[in-house]
A and B are shown apart, each in its own frame.
Chain A
């Protein structure tokens, strides 16, 4: 059929969606009873999670309040709660911009987008889905933050905060779609990453500079406005942004929708199969080729080639610097926060989180090498030697991160030395995590709320950070003692080097 076709009314975007939905529903074996059961199960799970979280955070808040104030903890808890909310919000915004927010699955890109149907109608379902996901994310972020607030919140305050977070999430979706329609989302993820970095690093630095001295005076608080204004303004802004987003969604180019849809598909499959390595690749910001290719004139040996390549991979993405800065500053922020700083276990959790983030950033060359083993095989080096060489860049990076971070947590050179002594274990963790094997789906599986998962899932996903956490045990002992005895320093170094060697020697290079 070419130009002389007999044509009547074309399907609208809504009509196309309806046609597809009805055709799909005809062979779906999901009954209303099943859907109702699933919904009930999801609501019950959510209720249990809220109750458990609420109880845990209330208990934590009471325990912190009962402790005497610790020295050098000048940052108010409200500020750190705000920082946590900002960091998670930045991550969600970066994620939304990476995945769309609007996208078309490969099938929709191939069969829907070429139709003359209005694109606005075609994408309205996706806009609703993204909005719902953003609201859920906002509730999940806001609930723990408000429940852990130093001043015990009332039920009304909890509801208003969660509602405001949900409305702000919808506002963010609307604004991102407006940017997407103008192909202007490229700067969003870098800006969100920069904001998260500044939000963590600046309070940590200021809290450390003023530690024990003049102290921090500003305490963030909700604006003193009547409730209708507090809830009404975000509501109006969110509604306006979503209406505007709906209006411009027809201007989003098909190429962008297709690219984002492919990223969503890969990320979804990776998440469902618990392949966090592939998930990271799907969600990672694309790295642009350098303006000037490196010639590596000073590289003369295979060991140098591995190190030079790893340095290039590590430094080519600006976000890695952000990860290292956040990883360094996070334990410092916890140590300087009133309440948190007085609980060594919570500072230790911040240490593990921060240094894990740094190890993940410095483990990128190992992850890439695991994904494309051919380049390593072309080197005249044995498999074990390649992995050993690959530990050098993470070791150098983590010596700096751990020494600076621990030194600022404990405010002393002995703490910096203890941090540096812990670095070999975390460097080993970076390499071990990068080379960790895929999940074994051929073995026994467990039933879980997200479906069947292999019984070995925890061991596989923790492969890498596990040895880093073990290597941090002397540091945790130091935090509990409040001092760093010379013996502890020696034990920490020996223990960390041993774990680092175990991590590197047991890292498995893929055969094919």
Chain B
């Protein structure tokens, strides 16, 4: 049986700042409708790998291809297909939570934007705070808002950097289940995480980022590695 061609193909990718790599080169492919977890200790380079994969940082060496073409975030087609929730915690101070989500939905041309936004507001437990300004939201609520924005728009690839961060245990489980359901529905997901439960619920394979070598392991081995610290 022939291997399914990857929606995302990363080859000999060296990432870092000022020409200095922060981890070993990465080579991995992610097939459509699958999820790749990324683990590694603090400072290992997980976020740098994700930012390079979505074109926010230039690679030092190697290539990243999305749907058979080199990644270029300046192309509207790429931004149309790829949703990201990285470590940003920035909001327009005078736009409410709902308005942020509507901006994203309408920006992507979602036909029934109001209904889609209302549904995600409820899904992420923001119904009572959706009309508040970001300054009136807690850190966890702002994180939920940023995550909800990834689901009010169409996407083929979703990239998440530690999505469990600042979420309570219940919300973590709901988010893991939601992402797993989206993967089952055909969405491709790449995410970095320190949460064994999130990892085992969502990931089919896990990339271990390290100084010496970046390897791909099974979620079971990855969870064992996380428990071992």
Contact = CB atoms under 8 A, between A and B. Distances in A.
Contact of B154 (A1, A23, A109, A253): A1
A2 B182 contact: yes
Contacts of B58: 183, 253, 255
A295 interface: no
Contact of A10 (B93, B94, B107, B151): B107
Instruction: Say whether chain A's binding surface is mostly helix, strand, loop, or mixed.
Output: loop
Contacts of A5: 108, 110, 116, 153-154
Given A110-B91, A253-B74, A11 B152 contact: no
A254 B73 contact: yes
A105 B76 contact: no
B74 A3 contact: no
A20 B95 contact: yes
A117 B107 contact: yes
B73 to A, nearest CB: 5
Interface string A13-26: 00010011001100
B1 interface: no
Nearest to B78: A116
Interface in B128-157: 146, 149, 151-156
Interface in B63-79: 73-74, 76-77, 79
Contacts of A105: 90
A119 B74 contact: yes
Interface stretch (B98-106, B206-214, B215-223): B98-106
A111 B103 contact: yes
Interface string A105-118: 11111110111111
A109 B96 CA distance: 17
A118 B107 CA distance: 10
Contacts of B84: 114
Contacts of A111: 90-92, 100, 103-104, 149
A109 B74 contact: no
Contacts of A4: 154, 185-186
A116 B186 contact: no
B83 A114 contact: yes
A3 B151 CA distance: 11
B227 to A, nearest CB: 31
Contacts of A108: 92
A336 interface: no
Contacts of B152: 1
B79 A114 contact: yes
B222 to A, nearest CB: 24
Given A10-B109, A119-B74, A251-B74, A107 B153 contact: no
B90 A116 contact: no
Interface residues of B, number: 49
A228 interface: no
A115 B79 contact: yes
A18 to B, nearest CB: 11
Q: Counting chain A CB atoms within 10 Å of each CB, which of B106, B151, B158 scores highest?
A: B106
B110 to A, nearest CB: 6
Contacts of A9: 109
A55 B151 CA distance: 63
Nearest to B93: A107
Q: Counting chain B CB atoms within 10 Å of each CB, which of A3, A6, A20, A253 scores highest?
A: A3
A251 B55 CA distance: 13
A284 interface: no
B94 A116 contact: no
A310 to B, nearest CB: 24
Interface string A383-409: 000000000000000000000000000
B210 to A, nearest CB: 22
A20 B92 contact: yes
B81 to A, nearest CB: 9
A258 interface: yes
Given A7-B111, A115-B104, A115-B107, A23 B94 contact: yes
B218 to A, nearest CB: 25
Contact of A106 (B80, B88, B110): B88
B90 A2 contact: no
A288 interface: yes
Contact of B111 (A6, A19, A23, A110): A6
B112 interface: yes
Interface of A: 1-11, 16, 19-20, 23-24, 27-28, 105-111, 113-119, 183, 250-255, 258, 288-289
Interface of B: 18, 20, 51, 55-58, 73-74, 76-77, 79-80, 83-84, 88, 90-96, 99-100, 102-104, 106-112, 116, 146, 149, 151-156, 158, 182, 185-187
Given A8-B110, A116-B108, 13 more contacts: A1-B154, A2-B155, A2-B156, A3-B156, A5-B153, A6-B111, A20-B92, A23-B99, A109-B88, A111-B103, A116-B107, A117-B76, A253-B58
